Chains A and B, each alone.
Chain A
């Protein structure tokens, strides 16, 4: 576990010393801020409770526009995670140190998760402002944060996996973006399909599991879904790392 934290710490440090994480956080805060204001003005400041908060935050996952951003941010955050190490060769030093493959992948993933948490924490001035100027229902706000954290970690796990299969950062980003879009798309497609298939499609869709969180419901089904997606892709990343020893 120590080694996982060591690698995560190193990863976090390297995010913080390069401009990429700052740029992404800036754009993220800018977009969510714009949505926050737009929604509040559109409702003439009447609704400072639930929707007033969720809608702006949903940039990260809920609304149709938001759907575009989660894959984008996650893909850009994770694209260099493993591919760069492979490219510059430090990979060889990591894999010849007495560290388990699992520890390497978990460390890398947790490093990127750290940035995601920072981004979410930085948005907390929205609920703070709502709390100062109104009486928001804080329950759904916290569950929304939980949902965003879970959906974000799924997306980062997908990105960690795609970064482990290539030495090219762009390919890693495009492939993970593709996988995440596909996972969204199945949710939309489910509207036009026969019920039986639609249920399946809507179950495997990343977005459909978010709606409960946004209205304040914590359903273990949704939590398990996001955790399974995260675990599945991290497992795939570990296996891909093992495979690299055979080639």
Chain B
């Protein structure tokens, strides 16, 4: 559904997107994950035809967005990050305008308005002036606008930014619901969002893709390692050396006042760790298993990316 090849975008001298390629298949929900200014919005703006790339090509539903943008745009529903709305219109007028603009006839538009306000829970507000709605409802109007013309591809730029936690979870449920009929590419810098909604994730940093994989595979990496966090009174250097000698322990590192012991998931070194510490006369204050979160993976990947580009 979405195909991106060697996409590069410069803003003047500044490189915003650096030669990225990826695909999103029909029916997938893919998360574009990255810190602020990673190039997520630029990538999405190019995909929707709002910006022209410096180099490279993108296809939406087999339409080349560089050479045949007008045709391609018919297949896209887009919600920009700022959720732009005509605040002087009612919800109905706003949806009708974009429905008609994207080629629905009057009858179909009315029909679709009823569908999407039901889907987005906007029944009560359909004749309210948009300017008077709260942020959460505006977000829903933005989403309704993106799906009014039944596009095959939905591109959502940070769909849950700035709304309260309850609404966030409602929006995520809605996105999952939409994923049954649409191909969705959403961007976010919030990690739980990806695991909550997406089937696959593309991690992007400083304009480059640094990892792309299914949530399961990333979780497998997470679950493939066991990490113990130990608080111990005693000479940390010596303790580190001793613990490293335990069979199966891959790495012992310091993290503030704690020591982190990493091992494969099938090995549980806890009893050996306690035994060594107690026998050597040091004091074990606490020991706990910590899960490596998506956050850690992300930090590791972005840090690695930074090291590599610094050494270039």
A121 within 8 A of B: no
Q: Which of B59-110 contact A (CB under 8 A)?
A: 70-71, 73-74, 76, 78, 80, 82, 84-89, 97-98, 100-103
Are the CB atoms of B103 and A92 closer together than 8 Å? no
Q: In the assembled complex, which residues on chain A have CB atoms less than 8 Å from the CB atom of B269? A: none
Taking a contact as CB atoms under 8 Å apart, the answer to whether A100 and B50 are in contact is no
Whether a CB of chain A sits under 8 angstroms from the CB of B45 is yes
Contacts A3-B101, A96-B50 aside, 18 further interface pairs with beta carbons under 8 A come to: A6-B100, A14-B86, A89-B82, A91-B84, A92-B78, A92-B84, A93-B80, A93-B98, A94-B101, A95-B50, A96-B49, A96-B78, A98-B70, A98-B71, A98-B73, A98-B102, A98-B103, A246-B51
Shortest Cβ distance from residue B108 to the other chain A in the assembled complex, whole angstroms:
14
Tell me whether A18 is interfacial, beta carbon within 8 Å: yes
- Establish whether residues B86 and A97, one from each chain, have CB atoms under 8 Å apart when the complex forms: no
Number of interface residues of A (CB under 8 A): 23
- Determine whether A44 belongs to the interface, using a CB cutoff of 8 Å to chain B: no
Kindly identify, within residues 21 to 65 of chain A, every residue whose CB is under 8 Å from any CB belonging to chain B.
none
With a cutoff of 8 Å between Cβ atoms, the chain B residues found around residue A93 in the complex are 78, 80, 84, 98, 145
B48 touches A96 (CB 8 A): yes
Residues in A neighbouring B52, C-beta threshold 8 A: 245-246
Cβ contact within 8 Å between A88 and B78: no
Give the number of chain B interface residues (Cβ < 8 Å): 28
Q: Are B45 and A92 touching (Cβ within 8 A)? A: yes
Q: Bound complex: CA of A185 vs CA of B80, how far in Å?
A: 44
In the complex the two chains form, is A92's CB within 8 Å of B50's CB? yes
A240 CB to nearest chain B CB (Å): 15
Supply 10 A–B pairs (Cβ within 8 Å), ascending by A: A6-B100, A10-B97, A14-B89, A18-B88, A90-B86, A93-B98, A95-B49, A96-B48, A97-B102, A98-B103
Contacts of B100 in A (CB 8 A): 6
Question: B50 contacts which chain A residues (CB < 8 A)?
Answer: 92, 95-96, 245
Write out, one digit per residue, whether chain A residues 59-92 have a CB within 8 A of any chain B CB (1) or not (0): 0000000000000000000000000000011111
Q: At the interface, yes or no: A220 with Cβ under 8 Å from chain B? A: no
| CB-defined contacts of B45 to chain A, threshold 8 Å | 92
A97 to B49, CA, bound (A): 9
B6-23 toward A: CB 8 Å interface, digit per residue (1/0)? 000001000000000000
* Contacting pair B85 A96 (CB below 8 A): no
* Cβ proximity bits A120-164 to B, threshold 8 Å, 1 near / 0 not: 000000000000000000000000000000000000000000000
Mask, A2-15, CB within 8 Å of B = 1, is: 01001100100010
A245 to B, closest residue via Cβ: B52
Residue of B nearest to A99 (CB): B101
Q: How far is the CB of B291 from chain A (nearest CB, A)?
A: 39
Complex Cα distance, B302 from A123, in Å, reads: 67
Please list the 8 inter-chain residue pairs (A to B) with the smallest Cβ-Cβ separation, ordered nearest first.
A89-B84, A96-B48, A90-B84, A98-B73, A98-B74, A89-B82, A92-B80, A245-B52
Residues in chain B near residue A10, CB distance under 8 A: 97
A133 to B134, CA, bound (A): 58
Q: How far apart are the CA atoms of A91 and B84 in the complex, in Å?
A: 8
A88-B50 Cα distance, complex, nearest whole Å: 15
Instruction: With CB as the reference atom, state the residue of chain A lying closest to B100.
Output: A6
A97 near B85 with CB under 8 A, answer: no
- Does A247 have its Cβ within 8 Å of any Cβ on chain B? yes
- Closest residue on chain A to residue B12 by CB atoms: A247
Residue A17 lies at the interface, judged by CB distance under 8 Å to chain B: yes
